Structure formats: C-alpha cells, structure tokens
Amino acid sequence: MQIDLLDTFLDLLETRSFHRTAERLGVSQSTVSGRVRALEEALGVRVFDRSRAGVQLTTEGLRFEPHARALRLGWAEALRGTRGAGARALTLRIGIQHDLAGSRLADWLADFRRALPDAGFYIEPDYSAQMCADLQSGGLDFAVMFTPRPHPDLHFVSLGEMRYVMVGTEAAHLAEVDRDRYILGNYAPAIASAHRAALPDLHEAPVASGQSAAVAGLVTSAGGTAYLAEEVAMGLIASGHVRRVSDAPVLTQPVHAGMLLRHRTGRLHATLLQIVRRRFGAGPPQRPFQTGGRFSAKARAPSSWSSEE
C-alpha cells in the first residue's frame, strides 16, 4: 500500500474536510479524492461517508484507523532503521522545546551518549505541537516539551516546571513598568494564562514574541521589561544588563517528556526519561552567550501551543 494513502486517510481523520486536507498536504482536492478511492478499492470497503456536513468515518473506517497508524509508524521506523545511522546500531531522533535547548541540551546529550554509546542522535529543537505530530508519525522517538497534545498513541510524563521572572532595564517595581515598553513573552498557553490572570494590564503589550531569545535580545538592546526564563534572567542580572522587578510574581510553565504509548515500558525510552528527569531536577548550568554586545546566560527560543500554532 502506498504511504500517501495512509497519510491522506489519517489527515482526513483530523480535518474531516477534503479541502483542508488538500491544503495541508499541498495537493489538489481531486488528488485527495483519488487517494481515498484508491484506499477504499484496496480495502474493499468504504472508509468515509461524504456529505455537505463534512466527512465521517464509516464503521469499517473506524476499524481501519488503528491499523493505519500502526502501518505508518512501521514505515517510519523502517526508514530510520535503514538510513543515516552510519556505524551506529541505531539513530535516535529527539525533540526538545526551544526554551530548554540552549541551557540544558549539551548536558542531556552527554548523558545520552554515555548511557547509549552505540546510538547516534539527531536533535531537533522545535515547538510542542510539531513534536507531538512528529511523535505520532514516527518522525521523533522522544521529546521534551511544554504542551502535550492528548492522543491515544502518545504517552506523556511530567518532569517539573520552568520558572520565569520579570526583568527590565528601567523598572525595579511593578508600578514603574512602562506599558508601552513592555514585551510580552507569549511562550506557551500555561504561562500565557498565568500572565493574563496575574497582570491583565500588561497582557495587551504593544510588542510580543514567542521566542525567549528574541525577547532577551529586545530587552538588552532596545530596553524595556519582560519575563524571561529564570536562568537566563539571572545571567543577565549578573552581567548588569537588567535588574529584577522585585514585586512581580514568578510564572511557571510545566515541562513534559513524550513518547509513543507502546514505548513507555521499553528500556531505551526509560533510559532517556531517567536522564532528562534527573537533569531537569538538577536545573541547568549558567553558560555565556552573546547578546547586545556583552555576555550573559544562555537560552534559546520559544515554546508551545497557542504561540506556536
């Protein structure tokens, strides 16, 4: 069976629209229709009922769904098993939230290589929504993210939380924050919701970004006030770029590890989970990075859900 038939079927499960699936897959609507017909001919049953209200799965389509997911995952694993590992026994594809990559990735990767010396690693900093999709499709083996997307094929484990503190180049107290020079860090839904509840007057800021590196760069180069990951903020404070807004609340963002449900009891994934859990609990080291012509603590970009979709 052609893999594009499975991709089309599984995308239609989400969109329930031939038009939207055609847009998402970058093909014509007639191509989507043709693929569905080809799939139904191969199976000998109808998998969708079409109407003006949209596309609905038939009973046979419901029965085929878990097999379609298994077939696509099997194909992705077959590709990974035969490509790109070089002299290594296998290559593990690991996704990591951008905000976590800068300060934690080097130590996590060093532990991965010590624990799994026969494995190669492909590391992809990304957003939560994309990592969930890549886990489902088999494009990733393991991911550390802010915002899990519930799915019957996926398993998530809580690792803890990231802390964000408010810093600025001018204000030392909330009453001194200039709303016109406030930069909203729209990093993920949880932190955005906490920010809206705690600081409604600042939530409609004139400038916003989902990338913490961009927010840090704006604050240090152009001035203003913003929330930054605590380890980044502490480095900037120590280097004299900013000072902490002392009475601003600390905002937190949960962090999760994700994998396929069927891998949750496997030794390989248990090893990866043990490493990130231990390292996350220990907290990140402070490393220098260049910003605004001076050195401060290292971090990288954004986050998840609302800001990344």
13-65 confidence digits (pLDDT tens)? 888 888 888 888 888 989 999 999 999 998 999 999 887 777 888 999 888 88
Q: Which amino acid is at 271?
A: T
Q: Which stretch of 28-42, 60-74, 121-135 has the lowest confidence by average pLDDT?
A: 60-74
Q: What pLDDT, on the 0 to 100 scale, is given for residue 198?
A: 94
In this model, does residue 120 exceed pLDDT 80?
yes
Q: Which amino acid is at 102?
A: G
Q: What pLDDT, on the 0 to 100 scale, is given for residue 127?
A: 86
Q: Which helix (H) or strand (E) holds 291?
A: strand 288-291
> 248 vs 71, 159, 167, 260, 261, CA distance in Å?
51, 25, 9, 39, 40
Q: What pLDDT, on the 0 to 100 scale, is given for residue 1?
A: 55
DSSP-derived letter for residue 164 is: E
Higher pLDDT, 283 or 295: 283
| φ, ψ at 69 (rounded to 5°) | -65, -40
Residue written as tokens 């010396």?
117
**Dist. CA 18–CA 39, nearest whole Å:** 15
Task: Provide the percentage of residues in the chain whose pLDDT is more than 70.
Answer: 85
In this model, does residue 82 exceed pLDDT 70?
no
Q: 207-209 and 182-185: which strand pairing?
A: parallel
Q: Which amino acid is at 126?
A: D
pLDDT band at 7 (very low <50, low <70, confident <90, very high): confident
**Dist. CA 299–CA 110, nearest whole Å:** 18
pLDDT band at 258 (very low <50, low <70, confident <90, very high): very high
Higher pLDDT, 221 or 280: 221
> 84 vs 92, 93, 122, 124, CA distance in Å?
10, 11, 10, 15
Higher pLDDT, 148 or 211: 148
Stretch 188-216: mean pLDDT = 89
Domains and CATH numbers, the chain: 3-82 (1.10.10.10), 90-159+255-283 (3.40.190.10), 162-252 (3.40.190)
In this model, does residue 214 exceed pLDDT 70?
yes
**Dist. CA 187–CA 182, nearest whole Å:** 15
pLDDT band at 256 (very low <50, low <70, confident <90, very high): very high
Stretch 123-146: mean pLDDT = 89
In this model, does residue 173 exceed pLDDT 90?
yes
Residue written as tokens 């840090």?
216
Q: Which helix (H) or strand (E) holds 35?
A: helix 29-43
pLDDT band at 303 (very low <50, low <70, confident <90, very high): very low
pLDDT band at 300 (very low <50, low <70, confident <90, very high): very low
Stretch 186-213: mean pLDDT = 89
At a CB cut-off of 8 Å and minimum separation 6, what does 239 contact? 294, 295, 296, 297
In this model, does residue 156 exceed pLDDT 60?
yes
Q: Give the chain's mean pLDDT.
A: 83
